[in-house]
Amino acid sequence: MRCAVAIVGAAETTELGKLPGISQIQLHADAALNAMKDCGLTLSDIDGIATAGESPTNLAHYLGIVPTWADGTSVGGCSFMLHVRHATAAIEAGLCETVLITHGESGRSRVGRGEFAGNRASLQGQFELPFGPIGPPTLFTMPVLRFMKEYDIRIEEVAMVAVVQREWAAMNPRASFRDPIDVDAVLNSKMIAYPFRKLMCCLVTDGGGALILTSAERAKDFPTRPVYVAGSGESIETPMVSQMEDFTSSRAFRVAGERAFASAGISHADVDHLMIYDAFAHLPLFGLEDLGFVGRGESAKFIGERNTAPGGKLPLNTNGGGLSYMHSGMYGMYALQESVRQLRGTAPAQVEGAKISFCLGVGGMFGASGAVVLSNEVL
């Protein structure tokens, strides 16, 4: 049922950025405690937990929670969108009443987290890693030259994504990078993996965030303005970017996005505010097209014409995004936090009168996707 469940608590870690004095599990806890304070709950009020990056077992024990429902879905940075979707179903089904979803990641300082070790016997280990990819900058970017050739997109147009998002970040005191940049600055930044330069790649920071969900019925009793889950979608494509069906489009974006629109019963024109997980500058381009906000090959022009910039008709990534705000590794939680702030009316770069926010996440390298439609009114 639409809007049967609401987000009543939402908070990020007290600090974001470079936090060498806090281990990863404590980032989860810091965010969780902030979210509970936000809505006036205590640990004993939580009966459902969901998390990724750390196991639900670690989280429940560390926080001292006795869950009757747990979800450890871990499909990359969009896991938290899937958690919102699963928690909504669980609360509606009566499996639990109050769900805590946490994210915490010592992405930069790497305190209290395991080291990356590729499984050399997995299909990715056998058929991608031997050829020298070093993490997301060399994998997530793989489809871009094909996309650019297919639709005759220039690199200056891809760089423009980073320029516009910096404009949003400039209005956000918590953003890591706030100084204005232009296309030349982006294209003169250090080459990472042609055609991607440093300012087209997300930053790497430490931080966390947490959400608390309960039934819409109970949500009325909380001090915070309820943000209702109006619809959602999820999907998975491939663990190997080389095996994407189409290098100009994400199947997971399309499937998750369509389901989210349909379950919310809304059209594109109803969306006041949009978040598209931007680990790299091309993701908003793929997202705008795969969600159907623009036609195939039209996204770069759409952004270049300032439709997604401050003052534009479709405000996008208003926190500055993974490119300028923060990116711990699993960024999806911060996209959800910004959607909630916008619908509560508390965002630093507030979209006036925003009622419906669409939040799209990606997991792995176009491997998975989760989409959530949030509203501050019962639809």
Partner 1 sequence: MPVSDRLLPIPTPETQHFWDGAREGELRLQRCCDCAHVYFPPRPFCPKCAHREVEVFRASGRAALYSYVINHRPAPGLKPPFAIAVVQLEEGPRMMTNIVDCEQTPEALILDMPLQVRFADQSEEIRLPVFGPCNTKEKE
CB of 244 to partner 1, least distance (A): 9
64 or 125: whose CB is closer to partner 1?
125
CB of 130 to partner 1, least distance (A): 5
Hey, how many other C-beta atoms are within 10 angstroms of the C-beta on 18?
13
Residue 42 buriedness (CB in 10 A; 0-12 / 13-18 / 19+): exposed
Rounded distance between C-alpha atoms, residue 236 and residue 73, angstroms: 12
129 or 379: whose CB is closer to partner 1?
129
Q: Report in angstroms the alpha-carbon separations of 43 from 38, 47, 51, 99, 257.
A: 13, 9, 16, 11, 34
The vertex-64 CA angle with 13 and 42, nearest 5°, equals: 65
Q: Roughly what angle, to the nearest 10 degrees, separates helices 332-344 and 79-92?
A: 60
CB of 127 to partner 1, least distance (A): 5
Q: Report in angstroms the alpha-carbon separations of 181 from 138, 186, 204, 205.
A: 24, 7, 19, 20
Rounded distance between C-alpha atoms, residue 130 and residue 118, angstroms: 11
Q: What is the DSSP letter of 17?
A: B
39 or 148: whose CB is closer to partner 1?
148
61 or 120: whose CB is closer to partner 1?
120
CB of 129 to partner 1, least distance (A): 4
24 or 248: whose CB is closer to partner 1?
248
Residues binding partner 1 (CB under 8 A) = 118, 120-121, 123, 125-134, 137-138, 141-146, 149, 190-196, 240, 242-243, 247
CB of 342 to partner 1, least distance (A): 34
247 or 286: whose CB is closer to partner 1?
247
CB of 200 to partner 1, least distance (A): 12
**Residue 182 C-alpha from the chain's centroid:** 25
CB of 108 to partner 1, least distance (A): 17
Residue 167's nearest CA partner among 309, 299, 274 is 309
61 or 146: whose CB is closer to partner 1?
146
Rounded distance between C-alpha atoms, residue 357 and residue 371, angstroms: 11
